[in-house]
């Protein structure tokens, strides 16, 4: 018994020593991590800027800029960027525009908003700042503040392509913008650029950091992880003008109002993304752990194009695409979440010239494995134009190698669903409908829908405007109350019968609409409440 007690005591002593040594080891590791993060901040913070934008208040109607000087621009209402403007207040210590002394002949500029940016190039020819397009798009003037250098005040933005004084390069499709600071503007300021890493090397779980001016708390540093890559369709389609963000990095690192345009950094302090938006729930307008950043690989292409050519030229194939079906993935033995199916090849397009066919499944593009539709779109967009790309497709089970010319993507592509004939208003819905023309019929037939009527316009304040969440102009209405519709008269007839059959005291009726959302190829439905009370 005595021996057992001694043995047990000895074990406890050894175990205690082990725990003590282990604890010291963990503390040292945490101390190293903490010190590394502090040193990283000291290194990168001087290269991150705070951007405050403004617009002329006396040069005519400001439209959406009336009201609070930090009011959300109208075009971002109902988009992912709404959350970036909600709750933004004028910084403390800065007088309201109405209290400012205005010199004769000098226009009064009122603040629009606050964002972040980063220095990405700096040499004897000047410096280049990368930020989000939505931070500066509607501004006329900006102020740029640095951590260790004097601020640049009242910088007038010049965006015209042919203007020799151009200093703002905007790209709405990627929501990226580049601001050029000439040597004259820079003066004796010493700026150090951040290095852009290859975001293609990011993995879920990698540690990342954000740095910017959330809620105007300038140079705020936070830490998180990469929680997803290749995120697509992360925002609902709330308006026709909304930018469709694809291929984003999802992160838990804190992103709030004012972080927009700031860097997402890896553990080496290199830029792997440009913070762009957050996704919230119905219970919060702020960050809830789901933030998004534009990959640095995309930003590098945009930056290089602007610096080299002053514009961004995108590649174009002329195809309609989508993911392969589950049956196709299983039948052909494809890897999950890989490949893109060609749904339609437009005649006389580069794809048509290169021999691409409907039902082809694109496996690789210029040697890179195609992961999903958004990845394929990006590969095509940044491929060298007016040159041929090597494309491998799976055609009827056999791999086929193609050389497909890359055209130049037009600035705007006409929609197959645009109106070509006068529509007819359906008062009960508060919407203008029109019947399918030849081009629109072919467009929706490719998606598997051979009948229906087009939704051309939704009147403001109408039942359709109040009740629906995603049905927008350009959508195809296929059924009402489970009955297929082929004409506007059929729509009116069915709705009239529903109203006639309502209860004697009913002040409203509910009508189910089946429809194909504009630009998509899957049918969904929406219940609309019609006010029929006397």
pLDDT at 3: 55
Decide which of 408, 433, 453 is a domain's last residue: 408
Identify the sign of the CA torsion 86, 68, 175, 129.
Answer: negative
Q: Are 356 and 319 in contact (CB under 8 A)?
A: yes
Mean pLDDT of 78-86: 46
Same domain, 122 and 152: yes
Alpha-carbon span 358 to 321, nearest angstrom: 9
Same domain, 365 and 468: no
Same domain, 45 and 163: yes
Indicate if the pLDDT at residue 256 is higher than 70.
Answer: yes
Indicate if the pLDDT at residue 381 is higher than 50.
Answer: yes
**What mean pLDDT value characterizes the chain?**
79
Q: Is residue 413 part of a domain?
A: no
Mean pLDDT of 425-436: 84
User: How would residue 282 be classed by pLDDT, with cut points 50, 70 and 90?
Assistant: low
Which tens digits make up the pLDDT trace of 32-50? 999 999 999 999 999 999 9
pLDDT at 446: 64
Q: What is the largest CA-CA distance in the chain?
A: 102
Is pLDDT larger for residue 55 or for residue 186?
A: 186
Q: What is the dihedral of CA 178, 182, 183, 189, to 10 degrees?
A: -50
Residue 209: closest CA among 252, 171, 239: 252
Indicate if the pLDDT at residue 268 is higher than 90.
Answer: yes
Same domain, 198 and 255: yes
CATH assignment of the domain containing 84: 2.40.10.120
Q: Is residue 95 part of a domain?
A: no
Q: Is residue 97 part of a domain?
A: no
Q: Is residue 376 part of a domain?
A: yes
CATH assignment of the domain containing 452: 2.30.42.10
pLDDT at 448: 73
Same domain, 326 and 358: yes
Residue 258's contacts (CB-CB under 8 Å, 6 or more residues apart) are 84, 88, 114, 115, 116, 212, 213, 214, 215, 216, 217
Q: Is residue 13 part of a domain?
A: no
User: How would residue 286 be classed by pLDDT, with cut points 50, 70 and 90?
Assistant: low
Indicate if the pLDDT at residue 330 is higher than 60.
Answer: yes
**pTM of the predicted protein model:** 0.64
CA 94-96-100 angle, 5° bins: 95
Backbone angles phi, psi at 36, to 5 degrees: -60, -45
Mean pLDDT of 16-38: 77
What is the pairing mode between strands 271-278 and 388-395?
unpaired
Same domain, 449 and 358: no
Cross-strand partners of 53 = 113, 142
Q: Are 297 and 304 in contact (CB under 8 A)?
A: no
Same domain, 289 and 366: no
Residue 331: alpha-carbon gap to chain centroid: 34
Same domain, 75 and 154: yes
Decide which of 274, 309, 344 is a domain's last residue: 309
Same domain, 147 and 284: yes
Supply 295's token pair. 């990959």
Indicate if the pLDDT at residue 482 is higher than 90.
Answer: no
Which tens digits make up the pLDDT trace of 457-473? 888 777 777 655 567 78
Indicate if the pLDDT at residue 510 is higher than 60.
Answer: yes
For the chain, give the number of residues.
534
Which residue bears the tokens 């993911």?
323
| Count of CA atoms in the C-beta half-sphere (13 A) of 251 | 32
User: How would residue 93 be classed by pLDDT, with cut points 50, 70 and 90?
Assistant: very low
Segment among 56-65, 84-93, 308-317, 366-375 with least mean pLDDT: 84-93
Own/partner contacts of 492-498, CB < 8 Å, gap of 24 or more, are 492/426, 492/428, 495/426, 495/428, 495/429, 495/530, 496/428
Q: Are 131 and 261 in contact (CB under 8 A)?
A: yes
Same domain, 305 and 342: no
Give the number of domains in the chain: 3
Percentage with pLDDT > 70 across the chain: 74
Alpha-carbon span 103 to 124, nearest angstrom: 35
Q: What is the DSSP string of 334-399?
A: PPTT--EEEEEE-TTSHHHHTT--TT-EEEEETTEEP-SHHHHHHHHHTSPTTSEEEEEEEETTEE
Cross-strand partners of 177 = 131, 170
Q: Is residue 24 part of a domain?
A: no
H or E segment to which residue 488 belongs: helix 488-500
The DSSP call for residue 446 is H
Category of 481 on φ-ψ map: left (φ > 0), alpha (ψ -120 to 50) or beta: left
DSSP 3-state assignment of 410?
A: coil
Alpha-carbon span 52 to 175, nearest angstrom: 17
Q: Is residue 11 part of a domain?
A: no
Q: Is residue 394 part of a domain?
A: yes
Which tens digits make up the pLDDT trace of 360-369? 999 999 999 9
pLDDT at 519: 64
pLDDT at 244: 53
Decide which of 263, 293, 309 is a domain's last residue: 309
Residue 352: closest CA among 319, 324, 378, 381: 319
Indicate if the pLDDT at residue 72 is higher than 90.
Answer: no
Same domain, 428 and 304: no
Segments forming the whole domain that contains residue 320 = 315-408
DSSP 3-state assignment of 328?
A: helix
Q: Are 280 and 107 in contact (CB under 8 A)?
A: no
Same domain, 172 and 197: yes
Indicate if the pLDDT at residue 194 is higher than 90.
Answer: yes
Residue 387: alpha-carbon gap to chain centroid: 29
pLDDT at 43: 96
């Amino acid at each position: 018994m005595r021996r057992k007690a001694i043995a047990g005591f000895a074990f406890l002593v050894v175990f205690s020593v082990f725990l003590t040594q282990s604890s010291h080891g963990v503390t040292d590791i945490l101390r190293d991590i903490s010190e590394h993060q502090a040193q990283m901040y000291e290194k990168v913070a001087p290269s991150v800027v705070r951007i405050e934008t403004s617009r002329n208040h006396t040069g005519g109607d400001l439209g959406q800029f009336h009201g609070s000087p930090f009011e959300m621009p109208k075009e971002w209402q109902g988009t992912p960027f709404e959350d970036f403007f909600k709750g933004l207040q004028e910084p403390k210590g800065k007088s309201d525009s109405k209290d400012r002394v205005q010199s004769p002949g000098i226009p009064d500029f009122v603040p629009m908003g606050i964002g972040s940016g980063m220095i990405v190039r700096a040499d004897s020819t000047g410096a280049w700042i990368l930020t989000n397009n939505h931070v500066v798009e509607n501004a006329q003037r900006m102020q740029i503040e640095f951590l260790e250098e004097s601020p640049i005040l009242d910088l007038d933005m010049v965006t015209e392509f042919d203007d020799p004084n151009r200093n703002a390069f905007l790209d709405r499709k990627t929501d990226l913008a580049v601001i050029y600071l000439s040597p004259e503007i820079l003066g004796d300021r010493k700026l150090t650029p951040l290095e852009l890493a290859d975001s293609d090397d990011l993995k879920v779980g990698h540690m990342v950091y954000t740095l910017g001016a959330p809620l105007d708390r300038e140079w705020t540093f936070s830490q998180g992880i990469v929680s997803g890559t290749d995120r697509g369709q992360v925002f609902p389609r709330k308006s026709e003008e909304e930018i469709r963000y694809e291929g984003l990095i999802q992160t838990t690192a804190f992103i709030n109002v004012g972080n927009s345009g700031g860097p997402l950094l890896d553990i080496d302090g290199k830029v792997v993304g440009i913070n762009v938006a957050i996704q919230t729930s119905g219970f919060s307008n702020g960050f809830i752990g789901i933030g998004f950043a534009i990959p640095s690989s995309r930003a590098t292409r945009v930056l290089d194009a602007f610096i080299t050519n002053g514009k961004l030229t995108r590649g174009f194939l002329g195809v309609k695409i989508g993911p392969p079906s589950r049956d196709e993935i299983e039948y052909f033995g494809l890897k999950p979440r890989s490949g893109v199916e060609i749904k339609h090849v437009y005649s006389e397009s580069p794809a048509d010239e290169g021999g691409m066919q409907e039902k082809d499944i694109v496996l690789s593009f210029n040697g890179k494995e195609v992961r999903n539709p958004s990845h394929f779109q990006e590969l095509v967009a940044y491929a060298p134009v007016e040159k041929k790309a090597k494309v491998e497709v799976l055609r009827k089970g056999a791999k086929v190698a193609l050389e497909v010319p890359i055209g130049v993507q037009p600035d705007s592509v006409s929609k197959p669903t645009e109106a070509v004939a006068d529509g007819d208003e359906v008062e009960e819905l508060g919407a203008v409908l029109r019947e399918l023309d030849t081009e629109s019929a072919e467009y929706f037939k490719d998606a598997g829908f051979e009948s229906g009527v087009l939704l051309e316009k939704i009147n403001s304040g109408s039942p359709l405007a109040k009740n629906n969440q995603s049905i927008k102009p350009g959508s195809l209405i296929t059924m009402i109350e489970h009955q297929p519709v082929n004409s506007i008269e059929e729509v009116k007839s069915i709705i009239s019968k529903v109203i006639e059959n309502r209860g004697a005291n009913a002040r409203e009726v509910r009508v189910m609409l089946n429809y194909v959302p504009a630009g998509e190829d899957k049918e969904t439905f929406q219940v609309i409440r019609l006010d029929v009370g006397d």
